[in-house]
Structure 1
């Protein structure tokens, strides 16, 4: 499907040719690089598992397909749980293609925010065992960053501790983040702290607002500890997106898109991503924008709709 714009029409014409080039390239060489479309001016990053219909099932071929359609970065939340050989393949393919890894989830998996995590003491509860367990999870994630070339890792403080006040939990989180930031700084990797909404997804999450993340980052005082500003979470929990973004801007290290309701591609819900994209561009943001959402239409048609949505936003960024 196409909206008739020259950019989308050009990509539609390339689609069949690029798929053929990927097949031929990978028949002969593990990391051959297919000819690419001009990149998006904005560094949009699909999830590694996106575009499986049009890009194909194997990771190197799908990454080539993404590059051939204008993308220059990806993100992969579950990367820490992938086999080491697969992490290495991702990193090598990205390097060969001149692409970049955005974020993956460090430490324990996100099930802990629903009370489903392993039997590990939460950082919010404090204590030396909790501090060591948190820092160990971060330390164990750094080889994943090294294998994939990632410079940022998504980090969560964990679930609320019912025995302690919010202020006491905040002090515990700050102490744990300070220790982890020292470890990350030595590896030249940045933790990006993601506030989560409690209305739709993570009812037990401790950190739910950009203001809380801002306070933590200021207290930690390290370039290795910044905010991940996910517009979907912030819209559900708070609203006032541009004002909220501006109020924490000096600590923002990464941003993610996803419309609401439904967490699908921009243009399918209530968030005005054209305005947001222009605002980010005007503020000088040239970093990665993670595409942290599903697609509103299933299959290949839906994947084309996602590309069309981001091509339109890319045009908006340069207005």
Structure 2
């Protein structure tokens, strides 16, 4: 089971408020979890922005019902049913949708404004249909658009890394691991006689703890078990307990199994993970445009 879309939460939200009492959002969420029989896996599902998917959809169901004047929020973080909300419940429907709310002029005005605002923005032509799917909340639509843009960026980024060459790649992986917060210093090694080590990260100023790096700028060939065994041998020669093997391609099942079984801590980062980390930590991809999602500060108006 996956988390229902926000429109499927509309009826449970109204049913919860049917008693006419003033309720809090935490009470509403608890009710909806039970009513929709959400599993632990459902509640663990997150948006790319980090928020819980179920909570976001409950919030937007409530927000749309408020726009339709079926609910009101007399105080911050509360909700209460209105006569219009009871009118919707009297329809005895199994599910409420935006079409049901469009019977009210206030919601039509709100929805029309939202559509005009969305249509006025220029978006890439090759975005998936889910980016504009009305089953998604506005927050999820933004997340979907960002995910699509990052997929296009990642595809271009891995090509650029490969074109830059081996030495650049070795310097890049040192830079990336440091940007991720590991170590206070680091450098790539000499191209010859490096003993199978392409970079070193110092976790302390005296070099008592070090992370050794191996970088393979491969295009289509997967890194196999023998390559991992060589790297583990290099770690043993250097009396090292930590190693990171990074490639622009992928690892075979045998390679991953080998890395998981050794006494040293060996982390494998494939091409997909590499560009994901580069995007997350702004390595070679600076932020050029920022969008802010805002909400009303109720404390200000109070």
TM-score between both structures, scaled by the size of structure 1: 0.26
* Structure number with larger C-alpha Rg: 2
Bigger relative contact order (CA 8 A; separation at least 6): 1
**TM-score, length basis structure 2:** 0.27
